Structure 1
Amino acid sequence: MVLRSCWKSRHKIAGPAHCWMRPGFAALLWLCLTQFGSGSGAVGETKSVVQKDAEFDVTYNDTVTSDNQTIYAFNHTISRNKTEGVRVTVDVLSEGLESPILFVVRQKQAVLSFQVPLILRGLYQRKYPYAHVGRTLCQPPTRAASETQYFFVDVSTLSSLGTHYQLRVSRVDSFTLQTDKKFSFTASPSQPQYFKYVFPDGVDTVIVKVSSEMNFPCSVMSIQDIQCPVYDLDNNVAFIGMYQTMTKKGAITVQRKDFPSNSFYVVVVVKTEDEACGGPLRFYPLRPDELINAGNRTKVLDVVVSPAINSEVYVMGMLFCLGIFLSFYLLTFLVACLQNKRMNKREALLNPADMSPAETGKTPASPYEYGSFADNGSTLSSEAVTDSATSTDNNYGYMERSLDSVGRSRQESLSSVEEDDYDTLADIDSDKNIVRTKKFLCVSDLARKDKRILSKKYQIYFWNIATIAVFYALPVIQLVITYQTVVNVTGNQDICYYNFLCAHPLGALSAFNNILSNLGYVMLGLLFLLIVLKRDIVHNRALLRNDLNALECGIPKHFGLFYAMGTALMMEGLLSACYHVCPNYTNFQFDTSFMYMIAGLCMLKLYQKRHPDINASAYTAYACLAAVIFFSVLGVVFGKGNMVFWIVFSVIHILATLLLSTQLYYMGRWRLDSGILRRMVYVIYTDCIRQCSGPMYIDRMVLLVMGNIINWSLAAYGLIERPNDFASYLLAIAICNLLLYFAFYIIMKLRSGERIQCLALVCILFTAVVWGFALFFFFQGLSTWQKTPAESREHNRDCILLSFFDDHDIWHFLSSIAMFGSFLVLLTMDDDLDTVQRDKIYVF
């Protein structure tokens, strides 16, 4: 009966009896079906419904109550070749509303409904009302060349009081974006905007850039497929498509293959609050349901869609990357050929044909050709002369050994020994304290263990780091694949901190260029391993032919740490590539873990050169590096502004520095037990108070004092500033200590009268220059996970090399070359000592 009365009452409005075919019949039937449950009075009470033929760009002022309902009927012509936007704008002029007004827009393939005031929720369910609302209607594609479509705007409310409103429907002439043409518009939380873009012929990838001069209010840009409804409110914009928060900059790369219709919507929404973009939180209301004045949150934005790079640029970028690093292989091959030719000539001149070096009776070069610890570079210091005389006269020095003794020591070194046979010779234990506490030590004093034992000891470095690399890398690869999958499935571009203005996708990878640029670490690490392998083979051949220089001269050749360094460089490239699959604060340690290892291994190698017998074992070294990585993870998770963590870390840092300083100063000849404090007081009393004598080992003391000053300063800086990027802070500590020790080594090497050969000098100068340029590009800061994703995008910049690589990619190129050069410096810097007896090479 209700449906029949509804039909009779509507028949006067709908027109003739054949209203079934009229466009408004669906609206009338919908009203009839909902009348039964929507009346404000008793069951069966009717509501006055008025349908009006409305026009575009006309403002309609009207009043609505619970007793009446108004339907505005619009029609417009759409064509297949032209897309016009339609925008509905509503203002509620009455204040103190009992109930909101409901607006329902019914289209051919979609229904859009919203209430005014529009209530949007923010953090902690805070509510923000908006009395001015503007929404754009979605435009489904049409197959006909031209078609007239009808849509209706229904206005109703449950309030018994009259509510005055304004309604205006207008066309959006600039609804379709043009390629490389900037378009400006305004948006607010209640007035989102979206536009359509159609891929032109021959363009498969575009980059959508949205920018604004205003930091706040915080905004969201989204890329959605052409479908209805369009999700254009703060509470639903993340439902489909790709989206990212933004303040001043936002950019998303869009590929044609992801949109079957060859077109998409660019949606821009202004958020109700700014905390997602790093802005200050508003005052918390006492009650979550309390309405808060939203304020003026209108934002002016610009959007431009530009074609991205094509496949030719990808190919050029990959060839450029390969070409740079393959050129190092070619250069290394040429240098190796020149060195072999020069060495063959020298051997032909020095040794007659068919005679070994031992048969020629030639002795190694005199140590005084390389100088000594001279104060002015020309004369020996009195301490050096005294020590030299002592080392030749007493039982603890080394005399010039005959060839027979050399042969016997070589036979002993080639005897069968086991890896755990360290310090088994009685003389090593008996005079260890006496030898290591001499005022001046020579390398022969600290190279007394069997060569094969030491070689096995240092080979453990390589095998351990290879094992660590496998167990570390596999979970990392699995995790970053999961990260990338989540980004691709959810469309949340805030998960990863890319440089979105220069992020070139390839397959499932969002920033292939950042991954490709890490190839240098892998290729140059492999090249360094090949160079070390070649030197290792040459040295072993020299030992087999009883070469006197290989047996008794130069810095002892142990290549295990070099192999570990090359492996660490390759792993740094692999893990850096994994990090750049989806860079964020939770996986930054992937990028830095092997940097700590590289810095630690380089310091160990520098120390091993002059202290082969007392260098740390692989197990101790990797345990210490594991502790560093452990603190790195703790610092990333708990270190941000946590005073307790920084106090604990600073205390541990200072204590570790003191313990290491003591270990280095006394060459390991001290004990950490209950009597350590008593012995410290005794040393202070006897050496400082009683006779005020200076330190016995002045050079070591200078190094350790400078090291302690630097480390204490870094600890104080961390305690005061508490930097957010703890991983980089920890890496800075490692690099500062490495540079200090390296500078000390070079200075002491020159002060000892030793020289640096041409190849090593070229490597030092080349590496220093490359490090300078690398650090310049590193500090450009194209993104930062220390801030919100929106704030990070403010630092994004366009590509600067081949339209494919950005500043950070160039950092990858240069830093990999610089690390390779640094390794070569460590490998070649003591080549000048290859003909100097070890009992004439000083320890420092």
Structure 2
Amino acid sequence: MILRVLLLWLGLTAAPSSFAADVIDANLNQLYTNATEPNGVLSIYKYQVKQSQVVRVYLHSDNSSSVRPLLAVFREQRAVLSVQLPIRLEKNYFYDTVARTLCPFGNETLPANVGTDESAGAMTVELSCFSPTPVSYSLKAYLLDNFELTLGEQMSLSASPSQPVYLRYRIPKRLDSVVVIVKSNDEICMTVSIQMIGCPVFDLDNNVIFSGMHQTMTKQGAVPIQRSNLDDFYIVFVVKPNDDICSEMMSIQPASGPVHLDTRIKNFTVVIHELPTDSAYLVPMGVAVAAILVIYVLAFVHVSWVSIRDRRRWEEEGRAAVFGIDEETSSLNNPHYSYGATATSRSTISGSTEASDLPSSSGVSTIAGQEPSPDDINQPGPDLEISNEDADYDTLEDAKTDKSVARSKVNLMVSDLSLKPWKLRDKKYHLYTWNLLTIALFYALPVVQLVLTWQNTVRLSGDMDLCWYNYLCARPLFGIFAFNSIFSNIGYVMLGLLYLGMVKERELRYRRTVGAVHASVKTEFGIPMHNGLLYALGIAIMMEGILSASYHVCPSSSNYQFDTSFMYIIGALGMLKIYQLRHPDINANAHVAFGILALFIFLAMCGVYFNDVPFWAVFSVCYILVMFGVSVEFYFKGQWRLNRHIYYRLRHYWRSTTCISRIIPRFKGRFIFLLIGNLLNLSFVFLGIWVMPKDFPSFLLLPFTGNLFLYLMYYIFMKLLNKERLKMRTVLFLLMAIGCWVIAMWFFINAVSDWSETPAESRVKNHECILFNFYDNHDVWHFMSALSLFMSFSIFLSLDDGLQWVRRDKIVVF
């Protein structure tokens, strides 16, 4: 122990003689060109600087080496900063020039209990090098006059990886928040950091992320700041040695060896603009809610007008339809109903005569496909003796046979596909509603928890590259960076709720108007009334708003599936609803439909992380298999099942048909539609394989939206082809939906961010607000797409109203 103390004393006593200092009284704003003393002898430059002054030091050396670098120490009264030349950044990048702003110690940067002295104090620069030969250098210390930014004033700056820059700004008390906007004409990668006032300032590439908020940028960057979080701060600009963080990794060629660079200089401008105060947000938010409430009022007026008009017209047409059947129609007053397996229903299925033309053996006239209505399911009635002949028909085996015969007809009628009891079918379709509510509950709660946790992570870490916002129109509120992008989803929720109300009103109106004519014929005319899928659509629209808002808490590739999952569900439910209109008995069960949707949502998630050839091969196989299954179901109307008996059915079909009948399709209309649809879907698959888009979830929306539109157009075309007129309100809803979709898609295509690109590249697309200084392009897309969905699915509410008093055995299936 004594030996160690002795050696330490000897080293301390020997140090002054080994590193004798050469002190130079230096002046600010003067360039000093000199050389170091050999063997580490110090050269000290002493400056007189006031605490309120901000000093920047420039140092350059041509012949220093990484083995024996030039060492520089900048000493202030309360801080020390050291650098070496050449300065090494990352692994292989060396710079012979360095410029650093020394941490200012003005009155505002000191704690309240620390006194200040505005008199001049000493600031020293100590230079040394352990090279046996002198190392030349150039040194200059100068004052910064424009260190503090002012609101609205643009300042031009330049920086390099070894010459970072930072400025200061104080938010006035009259403002709630501001946005720092940085723009450049070049694509050099740079980090913009917002740090608290204090020392040290982290202004190098290897430490800039240690404090405050930070984001990368190339041509454009913006950082919104709330005064409640930070009212006085530094804005730090650090240029990256390379562009690998800001650009696609595959385009980067890393340096193979040491590289000396001093020409990587980025020129840029910075300006600070005030953001609307929190109270000013009430105006755009109130306007949006008021506009939606106007739609509520218009919908109420429309529904009231339709209710009054249709009730009077339906009663007139209904009476004419009932009393115009024939003299046996009077027996329809009997409250007992056939369930589609009577002798008269068999005659209708065979296509020979109508049910009303043949009297039943019990003296009760029945109609094919007759079933209890919603109001009459549990209605009691007097007992009626059924003859043995009718009892022979009313068996499960005969009912199955009748359905098989009916569905194999070339010209199918709705009565052929509505043989099951109404109550059984209605329970089936209401399962969509209950299943969707269960899915929404278990899906949404973890999503909301996750994104709020993620938002908190961003706030604590300060890494603004974790979320892909439109920072030029990010309106912070309640600790959320872009509250406007969340609030703009209110259209989905409110219009989805309005849609549910309209569906309920339609259901009640149907019961009142149809029941007012004659209770026993409710379910013998028109398209069967089932609202389960419509309720599911309304809930899905509302959930799209909730999950889209959750996604926009921190938009990124990791949670983009939150935004798209219910878009897939909406598209699928729309197609199922159209199919259910004239195929009520054979539509898909809820668990099967949601199981297939789960597969596509899983594929969408995989497409974000595994967008390569093996993934596209698996996706193509899955998509084609689903496409084949849907085509078989649509063509054969449920007569073919893909199960273990398929081989025997194919062998029987092959032996029982001729060669020509195998080639020529039996159902030509269905075949042509499926041919067009499958060609378009195959084109979609081949396009995906060829392009391999980075934004796979958005690409997957194409078949859902495209097939829904194609199916709706096919349905309308077939209605017109079969001389079924469209109601004027249906045409108006269709035209308004198309117009809204065109406008919405324009705003969607002109995106203001893109998570499939790097955060810096995405910020190039950032754009100022376009509406009320609060909403951007994507927010308008939210409003317009919500309105488009509402208009599109409102078509379903009146699409077949013209068939209300047309018998089901006269309504063609297509």
Query: Which TM-score bucket, shorter chain as reference?
Result: 0.7 to 0.9
Distance 1:295 1:153 in 2: 23
Paired residue for 1:133, among 98, 104, 117? Answer: 98
Cα 1:463–1:43, aligned 2, differ >3 Å: closer, same or farther? same
Distance 1:91 1:392 in 2: 97
Paired residue for 2:242, among 262, 273, 276? Answer: 273
Q: Is the 8 A contact 1:757 1:831 kept in 2?
A: yes
Structure 2 residue 559 is the aligned partner of structure 1 residue 594 = no
Distance 1:772 1:62 in 2: 70
CA deviation map 1:760-794 (0-9, x unaligned): 11111111100110001000021111111000001
The Cα of 1:263 is off from its aligned counterpart by: 2.2
TM-score if structure 2 supplies the norm length? 0.88
Aligned to 2:704: 734
Aligned to 1:250: 221
The Cα of 1:731 is off from its aligned counterpart by: 1.0
**DSSP-derived class of the 2:755 partner:** coil
Residue 110 of structure 1 aligns with an amino acid whose one-letter code is: A
Provide the identity percentage. 39
Moved more, 95-104 or 678-687: 678-687
Paired residue for 2:323, among 362, 369, 386? Answer: 362
Distance 1:248 1:437 in 2: 65
Q: Is the 8 A contact 2:182 2:269 kept in 1?
A: yes
Structure 2 residue 44 is the aligned partner of structure 1 residue 77 = no
CA deviation map 1:368-413 (0-9, x unaligned): xxxxxxxxxxxxxxxxxxxxxx959856854458895459954997
Residue 178 of structure 2 aligns with an amino acid whose one-letter code is: V
Residue 128 of structure 1 aligns with an amino acid whose one-letter code is: Y
Distance 2:632 2:666 in 1: 13
Residue 131 of structure 1 aligns with an amino acid whose one-letter code is: D
Equivalence map 1:551-570=2 (5 Å): 551-570=523-542
Distance 1:98 1:361 in 2: 104
**DSSP-derived class of the 1:257 partner:** coil
Cα 1:674–1:166, aligned 2, differ >3 Å: closer, same or farther? same
Structure 2 residue 746 is the aligned partner of structure 1 residue 781 = no
Aligned to 1:120: 89
Paired residue for 2:59, among 76, 85, 90? Answer: 90
The Cα of 1:548 is off from its aligned counterpart by: 5.4
Distance 1:698 1:258 in 2: 68
Distance 1:647 1:685 in 2: 36
Distance 1:424 1:558 in 2: 26
Cα 1:35–1:513, aligned 2, differ >3 Å: closer, same or farther? farther
Cα 1:740–1:344, aligned 2, differ >3 Å: closer, same or farther? closer
Paired residue for 2:268, among 282, 301, 304? Answer: 301
Cα 1:803–1:43, aligned 2, differ >3 Å: closer, same or farther? closer
Distance 1:140 1:364 in 2: 98
The Cα of 1:622 is off from its aligned counterpart by: 0.9
Aligned to 1:25: none
Structure 2 residue 617 is the aligned partner of structure 1 residue 647 = yes
CA deviation map 1:622-677 (0-9, x unaligned): 11111111111111121x2x111111211222222122211211111124356746
Aligned to 1:507: 478
Residue 566 of structure 1 aligns with an amino acid whose one-letter code is: G
Residue 463 of structure 1 aligns with an amino acid whose one-letter code is: W
Aligned to 1:193: 165
The Cα of 1:163 is off from its aligned counterpart by: 1.4
Structure 2 residue 764 is the aligned partner of structure 1 residue 794 = yes
Aligned to 2:377: 414
Paired residue for 2:451, among 476, 480, 483? Answer: 480
Q: Is the 8 A contact 1:500 1:793 kept in 2?
A: yes
The Cα of 1:167 is off from its aligned counterpart by: 0.8
Residue 339 of structure 1 aligns with an amino acid whose one-letter code is: V
Residue 248 of structure 1 aligns with an amino acid whose one-letter code is: K
Residue 232 of structure 2 aligns with an amino acid whose one-letter code is: S
- Structure 1 residue runs without a partner (length 5+): 1-32, 352-356, 366-389, 418-422
Distance 1:92 1:631 in 2: 57
Structure 2 residue 803 is the aligned partner of structure 1 residue 833 = yes
Aligned to 1:375: none
**DSSP-derived class of the 2:245 partner:** helix
Distance 1:394 1:480 in 2: 59
Cα 1:498–1:447, aligned 2, differ >3 Å: closer, same or farther? same
**DSSP-derived class of the 2:50 partner:** strand
Q: Is the 8 A contact 1:777 1:811 kept in 2?
A: yes
Distance 1:483 1:394 in 2: 63
Distance 1:711 1:34 in 2: 82
Aligned to 2:329: none
**DSSP-derived class of the 1:599 partner:** helix
Aligned to 1:384: none
Q: Is the 8 A contact 2:371 2:422 kept in 1?
A: no
TM-score if structure 1 supplies the norm length? 0.85
Distance 2:89 2:545 in 1: 46
Distance 2:645 2:64 in 1: 84
Distance 1:727 1:85 in 2: 51
Distance 2:286 2:16 in 1: 78
Paired residue for 2:35, among 37, 57, 63? Answer: 63
Distance 2:395 2:120 in 1: 99
Structure 2 residue 72 is the aligned partner of structure 1 residue 103 = yes
Distance 2:158 2:560 in 1: 37
The Cα of 1:173 is off from its aligned counterpart by: 1.6
Distance 2:149 2:803 in 1: 71
Q: Is the 8 A contact 1:442 1:842 kept in 2?
A: yes
Residue 512 of structure 1 aligns with an amino acid whose one-letter code is: F
The Cα of 1:801 is off from its aligned counterpart by: 0.4
Residue 803 of structure 2 aligns with an amino acid whose one-letter code is: L
Residue 127 of structure 1 aligns with an amino acid whose one-letter code is: N
Distance 1:145 1:201 in 2: 27
CA deviation map 1:495-548 (0-9, x unaligned): 000011000000111100000000000000011111111122233445766445
CA deviation map 1:547-587 (0-9, x unaligned): 45633111000011111110000000000000000000010
Distance 2:313 2:154 in 1: 70
Paired residue for 2:18, among 35, 41, 46? Answer: 46
Moved more, 653-662 or 474-483: 653-662
The Cα of 1:96 is off from its aligned counterpart by: 4.3
The Cα of 1:282 is off from its aligned counterpart by: 2.9
Structure 2 residue 179 is the aligned partner of structure 1 residue 207 = yes
Cα 1:360–1:578, aligned 2, differ >3 Å: closer, same or farther? closer
User: Number of matched residues?
Assistant: 760
Residue 456 of structure 2 aligns with an amino acid whose one-letter code is: T
**DSSP-derived class of the 1:306 partner:** strand
Cα 1:256–1:59, aligned 2, differ >3 Å: closer, same or farther? same
CA deviation map 1:414-448 (0-9, x unaligned): 2599xxxxx98443202222111111011111011
**DSSP-derived class of the 1:494 partner:** helix
Structure 2 residue 141 is the aligned partner of structure 1 residue 172 = no
Structure 2 residue 685 is the aligned partner of structure 1 residue 715 = yes
Q: Is the 8 A contact 1:219 1:268 kept in 2?
A: yes
Moved more, 734-743 or 227-236: 734-743
Equivalence map 1:456-475=2 (5 Å): 456-475=427-446
Distance 1:103 1:586 in 2: 45
Residue 42 of structure 2 aligns with an amino acid whose one-letter code is: Q
Cα 1:67–1:157, aligned 2, differ >3 Å: closer, same or farther? closer
Distance 1:90 1:182 in 2: 28
Distance 1:499 1:811 in 2: 14
Cα 1:311–1:364, aligned 2, differ >3 Å: closer, same or farther? farther
Q: Is the 8 A contact 1:552 1:838 kept in 2?
A: yes
Aligned to 1:7: none
Q: Is the 8 A contact 1:313 1:804 kept in 2?
A: no
Cα 1:186–1:35, aligned 2, differ >3 Å: closer, same or farther? farther
Distance 2:173 2:236 in 1: 23
Distance 1:444 1:730 in 2: 36
Q: Is the 8 A contact 2:158 2:265 kept in 1?
A: yes
Equivalence map 1:660-739=2 (5 Å): 660-673=630-643, 676=646, 689-690=659-660, 694-739=664-709
